[in-house]
A and B are shown apart, each in its own frame.
Chain A
Amino acid sequence: MSENKKLTAWDVVQIARDKNRPLLCDYIDGICTNFIELHGDRRFGDDKGIIGGFATIGDNKVMLIGHQKGKTFEENLVSNFGMGSPEGYRKALRLMQLAEKYKIPVVTFIDTPGAYPGLEAEARGQAEAIALNLAKMSDLEVPIVVVVTGEGGSGGALGIGVGDVILMLENSTYAVISPEGCASILWRDGAKAPEAAEAMKITAGALKELGIVDEIIPEPKGGAHTNHTETLANVEKTICKYLSALGKLSTSKLVSNRFKKYMAIGKF
Chain B
Amino acid sequence: MGWFNSKKEKDVQVATVTTEELWQICPSCKAHIYKTDWEANIKVCPNCNYHQRLTAWERIDLMIDKGTFRELSTSVSTSDPLDFSDAKGKYLDKAAIVKKKTGLKESIVTGSGNLNGTRIVLGVMDFSFLGGSLASGTGEKIAHAANHALYHKRPLVIFSASGGARMHEGIISLMQMAKTCAAIEKLHKAGIPYISVMTDPTTGGVSASFAMVGDIHIAEPKALIGFAGRRVIENTIKQKLPDDFQTAEYLDDHGFVDAIVKRKEMKNYISSVIGYWNH
Chain A residues within CB distance 8 Å of chain B: 115-119, 121-128, 130-132, 134-139, 154-155, 158-159, 161-162, 174-177, 182, 185-189, 192, 196, 199-202, 207, 210, 212, 258-259, 262-263, 265-268
Contacts and interface: CB of A to CB of B under 8 A. Distances in A.
Contacts of B165: 154-155, 176-177
A131 B233 contact: no
Contacts of A189: 87
B171 A176 contact: yes
Given A155-B208, A155-B227, A199-B82, A185 B233 contact: no
A177 B86 CA distance: 15
Given A185-B1, A266-B179, A201 B140 contact: no
Contact of B245 (A119, A187, A210): A119
Contacts of A132: 212-213
B86 A265 contact: no
Interface pairs A-B: 10 shortest CB-CB? A266-B136, A117-B228, A138-B182, A131-B212, A134-B181, A127-B207, A186-B86, A127-B227, A135-B181, A130-B208
A52 B184 CA distance: 27
A186 B88 CA distance: 8
A131 B209 contact: yes
Contact of B179 (A131, A188, A265): A265
Contacts of A267: 140
B237 A186 contact: no
B222 to A, nearest CB: 17
B183 interface: yes
Nearest to A83: B236
A188 to B, nearest CB: 7
Contact of A136 (B1, B185, B207, B237): B185
Interface string B133-157: 0011101100100000000000000
A262 B175 contact: yes
A210 B256 contact: no
A134 B209 contact: yes
A262 B182 contact: yes
Contact of B170 (A122, A131, A136, A201): A201
Contacts of A266: 79, 81, 135-137, 139-140, 169, 172, 175-176, 179
Contacts of A135: 181-182, 184-185, 188, 213
Contacts of B255: 125
Given A119-B241, A139-B182, A263 B167 contact: no
Contacts of B76: 268
B81 A210 contact: yes
B256 A125 contact: yes
A255 B221 CA distance: 39
A115 B188 contact: no
A262 B140 contact: no
Interface string B174-217: 11111101111110110000000000000011011111110000
